[in-house]
Amino acid sequence: MAAQAPCTPMTPNESKTLKKDSRVYWQGNPADGGIVTETSWDAVTIAWDNGHVAKVLRGDMREIQLTPITPHTVL
């Protein structure tokens, strides 16, 4: 059985390190990624692989991760 490790929420300060073309993942899910297309002082715009585009406020970045979560086998 595979379980995903919990993701660490991104803080507003961490979100300020995001640059255009940074790869990000929703809840760390490797199948649910996107690319940062624009940044501003209060938000980032993400073009998700599923075709949706979202403007996410820096204070609402808790579920965005910079790296995908690797499933771990639970015995």
User: At 15, is the secondary structure helix, strand, or coil?
Assistant: helix
User: Which of the four pLDDT bands, split at 50, 70 and 90, describes residue 1?
Assistant: very low
Q: Which residues span the domain enclosing 20?
A: 2-70
Would you say 66 and 7 are in contact if contact means Cβ atoms under 8 Å apart?
no
Residue 75 in domain:
no
For 46-62, what is each residue's pLDDT tens digit?
999 999 999 999 999 99
CATH number of the domain to which 44 belongs: 2.30.30.40
**Reported pTM:** 0.82
Task: Give the percent of the chain with pLDDT over 70.
Answer: 84
More confident residue, 52 or 6: 52
Residue identified by tokens 């809840």 is 27
Residue 23 in domain:
yes
